[in-house]
């Protein structure tokens, strides 16, 4: 399909905004982000000039442009445009219009990517309540919101709620859409992520392998969703101690993301941190440190020093410095990571527990017996 679009865009259809808008959406769904961005920016500019900012067609172009920014990792731009679209659609179309709900749901996804999980939960909760009332429990849009809400529950450490909601959505999507529909695959991937947080790694692997096979077949090797599945499977292999598979797949994902998304895309930096942890497990601590320092510096500049992804790589660097017996430096990374993660995650979240365990080792090696004992007691209380 995309070669045909390329051909048409060279002709007169390039002058028709409606065609360019649809083609821009097609490029986005196919994972061709820069092509999509180029088309949709032109469409948005044309519609603003001819129709004005408040026209429904202009707002539709803004809506898709916000989605482009989110996929490109430009989360601040995505938030600014997303907030603008939601507010204008509420004013022009009303609170409960399908387009308003769609933009509100997409803004929740941006908040999720920004690590503002409580705000994401609030928006998705409101959208879900309205969609259930208007569309019913089994409508695809309702199921989309349920799936997004489950994803946020997982990040917040509300893992039992996330699992129950993911299972409900997956069962309905399999029944309504079939086993290989993109929505069904998305639910399988979400459930696998929850299993991962629950340390049920073999169950996560089964789902991820199935999703990867289907996404490679339907979307291709280089699609962002295919790469995301590969990345998650590499982390699962790491957790299962299948380190050669983790390294091979993690290296492949990182190279692909650098080539397709760029060196500074948030997803590329996530893959960098994940590969570093495999190096850590393999005893290649200097290589792990090099990757983590690079990723952390870029994440701090791009996302800020309080973003969950930044804090996660900060804690990984602290763990690596422990392995290198640079205890004082490890403490300098682990302590602020722990304090900031406490504000974002539930007390028993796996990420939080892992930081605490690493910090116990650091305190012990530094001879800070009281601090190590207190942290150990806190860990024991979480296990009860």
pLDDT in the model for residue 34: 82
The pLDDT confidence band at residue 35, using thresholds 50, 70 and 90, is confident
349 Cβ partners below 8 Å, 6+ apart?
156, 157, 197, 341
Residues 6+ apart with CB under 8 A from 250: 231, 234, 235, 238, 271, 274, 275, 278
The structure tokens listed for 266 are 């948030």
- Residue 40: the pLDDT is 87
CB atoms within 10 A of CB 281: 16
- What range does the domain containing 314 cover? 304-384
Percent of the chain with pLDDT over 90: 79
292/313 same-domain check = no
pLDDT tier at 5, thresholds 50, 70, 90: very low
How many alpha carbons fall within 13 Å on the CB side of residue 190? 32
**What is the arithmetic mean of pLDDT over 187-213?**
96
CATH code assigned at 309: 1.25.40.10
Q: Is residue 4 part of a domain?
A: no
Considering the domain architecture, whether residues 288 and 319 belong to the same structural domain is answered as no
Give, to the nearest 10 degrees, the angle between helix 201-218 and helix 224-239. Answer: 160
| Residue at which a domain ends, from 248, 272, 298 | 298
DSSP letter for each residue of 284-325: -HHHHHHHHHHHHHHHHHHH-TTSHHHHHHHHHHHHHHHHTT
pLDDT tens sequence across 334-376: 999 999 988 887 777 888 889 999 999 999 999 999 999 999 9
Q: How many domains are contained in the chain? A: 2
CA 384 to chain centre: 31
- Tokens 């340390």 found at: 199
Closest CA to 307 of 264, 270, 354: 270
Mean pLDDT across the chain, nearest whole number?
91
């Amino acid at each position: 399909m995309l070669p045909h679009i390329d051909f048409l865009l060279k002709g007169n259809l390039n002058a028709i905004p409606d065609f360019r808008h649809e083609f821009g959406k097609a490029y986005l769904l196919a994972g061709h982000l820069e092509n999509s961005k180029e088309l949709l920016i032109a469409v948005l500019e044309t519609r603003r000039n001819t129709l004005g900012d408040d026209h429904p067609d202009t707002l539709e172009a803004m809506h898709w442009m916000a989605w482009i920014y989110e996929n490109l990792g430009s989360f601040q731009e995505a938030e600014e445009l997303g907030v603008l679209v939601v507010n204008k659609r509420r004013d022009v179309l009303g609170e409960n219009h399908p387009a308003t709900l769609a933009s509100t749901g997409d803004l929740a996804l941006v908040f999720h990517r920004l690590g503002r999980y409580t705000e994401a939960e609030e928006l998705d909760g409101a959208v879900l309540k309205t969609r259930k009332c208007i569309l019913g429990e089994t409508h695809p849009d309702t199921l989309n919101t349920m799936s997004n809400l489950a994803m946020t529950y997982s990040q917040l450490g509300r893992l039992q709620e996330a699992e129950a909601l993911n299972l409900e959505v997956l069962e309905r999507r399999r029944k309504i859409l079939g086993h290989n529909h993109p929505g069904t695959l998305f639910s399988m991937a979400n459930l696998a992520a929850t299993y991962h947080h629950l340390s049920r790694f073999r169950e996560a692997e089964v789902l991820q392998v199935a999703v990867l096979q289907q996404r490679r077949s339907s979307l291709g090797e280089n699609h962002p969703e295919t790469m995301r599945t590969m990345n998650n499977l590499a982390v699962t292999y790491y957790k299962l101690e299948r380190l050669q598979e983790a390294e091979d797949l993690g290296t492949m994902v990182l190279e692909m993301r650098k080539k397709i998304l760029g060196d500074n895309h948030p997803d590329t930096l996530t893959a960098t941190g994940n590969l570093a942890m495999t190096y850590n497990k393999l005893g290649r601590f200097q290589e792990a440190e090099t990757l983590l320092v690079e990723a952390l510096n870029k994440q701090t500049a791009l996302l800020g020093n309080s973003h969950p992804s930044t804090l996660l790589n900060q804690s990984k660097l602290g763990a690596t410095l422990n392995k290198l017996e640079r205890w004082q430096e490890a403490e300098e990374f682990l302590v602020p990571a722990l304090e900031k993660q406490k504000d974002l995650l539930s007390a028993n979240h796996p990420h939080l527990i892992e930081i605490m365990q690493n910090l116990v080792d650091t305190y012990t090696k530094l001879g800070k017996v009281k601090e190590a004992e207190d942290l150990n007691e806190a860990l024991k209380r979480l296990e009860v």
